[in-house]
A and B are shown apart, each in its own frame.
Chain A
Amino acid sequence: MQKLTMPLSDDDVRSLNVGDTIALSGIMLTGRDAVHKWMIDTFIRKTREPAGDDQEVYDTIKPLLDGGAIYHCGPVVAGLDTGDYSFVAAGPTTSIREEPYQGEVMEHFNIKGVIGKGGMGPKTLAACAEVPGLYLHAIGGAATLIAESVTRVVGVHKLDFGVPEAIWVIEVKDFPLVVTMDAHGNSLHVGVEDESKEVFDSLLQLS
């Protein structure tokens, strides 16, 4: 298992291939459905004007995402009453819901690592080659174990999106991940789907 610390360089990214396992450390942000839509609407496709603290949040997260990672995760968080936050459970959520947005978000912020589960589609794979970046698969459901690798909650933005949908800024140490989409155009998910399709067609005597 290779140890890597954010921010990641283009060379770090290109040195990795589908199937490699890594232990990732550094500062990352959580972001899922509401955050991706907010980024796209307000700052990328600009279909709505920034309002409230939008601009301030954008200015704060932009340098953190440059060479960094976004984690598709809606955590269970303790300390909501006191503001002394800690992650109790923090596994990945299904990434494919962000497929319409992810590539543009990666390119806009220079995001090197997209972390989630279940894999993503052709637009994200193209962005992985372009940026370059990686799709890093966390183990779905392994929430208590992954929370152990979150050493600190640095802060939170957009808590009005709700706890699962907010932008949590976290510091992680040796977060265990598998590269399932690389910067060379390869996707483990495409390979597995193609192979399972062949078996499926033969079992049902289709094709």
Chain B
Amino acid sequence: MEDLTVSFLELVRFASTDLPPDVEGALKSALDEEKAGSAAAGALETILRNVAMAREKSTPICQDTGTPLFFIKHPVGMSTKVIAGQIRDAVAQATKSTYLRPNAVDSVTGKNTGNNLGGAFLPTMHFEEHDSKDLVVDLMLKGGGSENVGTQYSMPYAALKAGRDLEGVYRVALDAVFKAQGKGCAPGVLGIAIGADRSSGYLGSKEVLLRKLDDTNPVPELAELEERIFKDANRLSIGPMGFGGKTTVLGVKIASLHRHPASFFVTVSYMCWACRRRRMVVSDNGPVFS
């Protein structure tokens, strides 16, 4: 297969330096809601100036360029080993070019590898074979501060009178937002997975963050729940950066996954306002980025 290392490098650069339009639009709408001159408005103005500047200068929006999470859908027969090798090369090059900060630390020795490569786990890649002839690669850069406020609830969760139903999901989701306060770089986006086992729950809660902020969940019950959590999370008035204000979350995305009869997990991933996710589709005509 063709060497796509340069294209993967462009995908990383694009994701790190150019915030998706739906996220930037949501931040602009949030600014309109806040009182002029307030700390919340000041924070959003700074954020938006920074987004424009990063795009213009092609430098990272945030210095924490996060854990690179690749979701790869590939045609039948394409070698995942070859793709993984090219992605690793691109990530190391992107680190050298300062599109990424070196973020791979040996947990025993504390030594930073310096190039974002760390064993089988970094960068993180999820492969899926699909029927299309195109290679479709989604990249999410997920920062450590927002990752630290992610959480998982085993239901029922008695402290909040949260049972094994959608009302229970609502209750623990609000709890996650309350506990995060401004620490995950509010206003954030919530990715929620209902069901699955513990590890698949976390994966699902991240994959659902690839959805656009302005889309609608095809499952009516979940669409309604997303709207309800979105409205009430913003009533908590934690605000941008936790300064107090009207916008605490920019969006809520929920995935429902099947579960073991004995288990009912609700997993919440918090994505900071710098919701960096970009896609590359490689067809016969070459790569297209969006």
Query: Which of A34, A89, A137, A180 is the most central at the interface, judged by chain B CB atoms within 10 Å of its CB?
Result: A89
- A200:B243 contact, CB within 8 angstroms: no
Contact for A189 among B105, B144, B182, B185, CB less than 8 A: B182
B interface, by DSSP: helix, strand, loop or mixed?
A: loop
**Nearest CB in chain A to that of B239: its residue:** A192
* B236 part of interface (Cβ distance < 8 Å): yes
* B148 part of interface (Cβ distance < 8 Å): yes
* B247 part of interface (Cβ distance < 8 Å): no
* B190 part of interface (Cβ distance < 8 Å): no
Q: Which B87-131 residues sit within 8 Å CB-CB of chain A? A: 98, 100-103, 105, 110-112, 114
Q: Which A115-157 residues sit within 8 Å CB-CB of chain B? A: 117-119, 137, 139-148
Mark contacts of B154-179 with chain A using CB atoms, 8 A cut-off: 1 yes-contact digit, 0 otherwise.
00000011000000000100110010
Contact for B63 among A90, A96, A137, A188, CB less than 8 A: A90
- B178:A89 contact, CB within 8 angstroms: no
A interface, by DSSP: helix, strand, loop or mixed?
A: mixed
* B287 part of interface (Cβ distance < 8 Å): no
Q: Which residues of A sit under 8 angstroms from B145, Cβ to Cβ?
A: 93-94, 117-118, 140
B contact residues vs A (CB 8 Å cutoff): 39, 42-43, 46-47, 49-50, 53-54, 57, 59-65, 98, 100-103, 105, 110-112, 114, 143-145, 148, 160-161, 171, 174-175, 178, 181-183, 185, 232, 235-239, 241-244, 272-274
Given contacts A78-B98, A145-B49, A199-B235, could you give 15 more A-B pairs where the C-beta distance is less than 8 Å?
A19-B39, A76-B98, A88-B98, A137-B241, A139-B43, A139-B50, A140-B185, A143-B54, A144-B50, A144-B57, A144-B61, A165-B112, A189-B181, A200-B174, A203-B232
A contact residues vs B (CB 8 Å cutoff): 19, 21, 34, 73-78, 88-91, 93-94, 96, 117-119, 137, 139-148, 161-165, 176, 178, 180, 188-189, 191-193, 195-197, 199-200, 203-204, 206
8 pairs of A and B residues whose beta carbons are closest in the complex: A162-B112, A89-B63, A145-B50, A142-B50, A118-B183, A143-B63, A89-B60, A140-B185
